[in-house]
Amino acid sequence: MTRKEAFDSIKANVENENLVKHMLATEAIMQALARRFGEDEEEWGLTGLLHDIDVELTEGDMSSHSKLGADLARELGASEAMAHSILCHNPAHGIPQETKLDKPLFCVDPLTGLIIAAALVRPGKKLAGLEAKSVKKRFKEKSFAAGADREQISRCSQIGLELDQFIELGLEAMKGIAADLGL
Ligand SMILES: [Fe+2]
């Protein structure tokens, strides 16, 4: 699957622009992690890009969310490793995140929301000028962007990153596509 094929499929299945931006942010951070760990940037990036492709199709049914997504990804030509990572990023299935591609997607997913929320409360609502230490401060405020599961973000420890390192890497990756994110 080419990146274009993946993105075309997203455009065909997802109307909500914020959801598309969330997937773009996830792609960017997954690519940055692959770069850092010497893994396959394309494979990791596409996994991040596609991970929520079924959110609108499954209409909030958490028992089917990510099962359909994994199937759609397979149809597009995703590897089993990619499909498994997508499948188990939804904790509702009770499938543990075990592989080297499962674990990063799981902790990256909620980090994007925390960083976007931290940017949106700044004057100008931009990523530019947002510092990792401010995001870390927001991380500690439990009521701030409460949907961004802190425990899940903290699983970055399972891929060998301290929280500070993870936030810094994620923030830099998202700044790199700030225009696409409208931030
Ligand atoms: Fe997601």
The confidence score (pLDDT) of residue 19 equals 97
pLDDT tens string for the chain (183 positions)? 999 999 999 999 999 999 999 999 999 999 999 999 999 999 999 999 999 999 999 999 999 999 999 999 999 999 999 999 999 999 999 999 999 999 999 999 999 999 999 999 999 999 999 999 999 999 999 999 999 999 999 999 999 999 999 999 999 999 999 999 999
Ligand 1 mean position, distance from CA 125 (Å): 21
Ligand 1 mean position, distance from CA 166 (Å): 17
Ligand 1 mean position, distance from CA 51 (Å): 6
Q: What is the DSSP secondary structure assignment for residue 1, as one 8-state letter?
A: -
| Short-list 48, 174, 38, 75, CA closest to 118 | 174
Ligand 1 mean position, distance from CA 31 (Å): 15
The confidence score (pLDDT) of residue 118 equals 98
Ligand 1 mean position, distance from CA 70 (Å): 13
Can you tell me the distance from the alpha carbon of 42 to that of 156, in angstroms, rounded to the nearest whole number? 20
The confidence score (pLDDT) of residue 148 equals 97
Ligand 1 mean position, distance from CA 25 (Å): 10
Ligand 1 mean position, distance from CA 94 (Å): 17
Ligand 1 mean position, distance from CA 30 (Å): 12
Ligand 1 mean position, distance from CA 92 (Å): 13
The confidence score (pLDDT) of residue 129 equals 94
Ligand 1 mean position, distance from CA 109 (Å): 5
The confidence score (pLDDT) of residue 108 equals 98
Burial string for 85-117 (b: 16+ CB within 10 Å, else e) reads bbbbbbeebeeebeeebbbbbbbbbbbbbbbbb
Q: What is the DSSP secondary structure assignment for residue 162, as one 8-state letter?
A: -
Do 122 and 129 contact (CB within 8 A), yes or no?
yes
SS3 content of the chain, % helix, strand, coil (to 5): 65, 0, 35
